[in-house]
Amino acid sequence: MKYGHFSKNESGMALVVALVMMTVLTLIGLAASFTSTFEIMLSGEKRRSTDAFYNADSGANVIIPRYVNFVPGRSNYNPFTDPINSNPTNVTARIDFDPLKIGPPEGQSFNNDYAYFWVESRGDDRTGNATRSRCTINLNVYRVLAKSDSSTEVVVNP
């Protein structure tokens, strides 16, 4: 019995197998590189959209607590023209009075008068020179109007 006997036809097989394996490993490496690059871009977009949402939400949170922003009969009011409303994130906002809604909201008392408003707050990602993500928050708000025996408050409808 002869050991180590090789045919002349198998003399370059190791080189071919090595080249095929290197090609396969290179393709796997490239696929991993492209996947990680895509994931990094995707997480950046998610961060920008989250920043835009929080900027728009901050605008709404500045506007809502001040009942003087909600005057019945006033439409297309920009609350950030008033210096008392701070605007650190440069949000654009608008408050519109809704004259078509009347009566108390569901679950509220008939003993007060109510005024209904539509609040729109728009924010962007503020991450550089080019804005890539914007968010708009729309809120339906009602104001309990003051009577001699009631207090004034602004409530966001759920």
The pLDDT tens digits of the residues spanning 26-78 come to 999 999 999 999 999 888 888 888 988 998 998 888 888 888 888 888 888 99
Cα angle: 24, vertex 27, 28; to 5 degrees: 85
User: Nearest-CA neighbor of 135 among 80, 85, 81, 93?
Assistant: 93
More confident residue, 118 or 132: 118
**DSSP-assigned beta bridge partners for residue 119:** 95, 139
Q: Over the stretch 79-111, which tens digit does the pLDDT of each residue have?
A: 988 888 888 788 899 999 988 888 788 777 777
Question: For the stretch 81-102, what's the b/e string if a residue is b when 16 or more beta carbons lie within 10 angstroms of its beta carbon?
Answer: eeeebebebebebbbebeeeee
- Domain ranges for the chain, please list them: 8-156
pTM of full prediction above 0.85: no
More confident residue, 110 or 152: 110
More confident residue, 13 or 7: 13
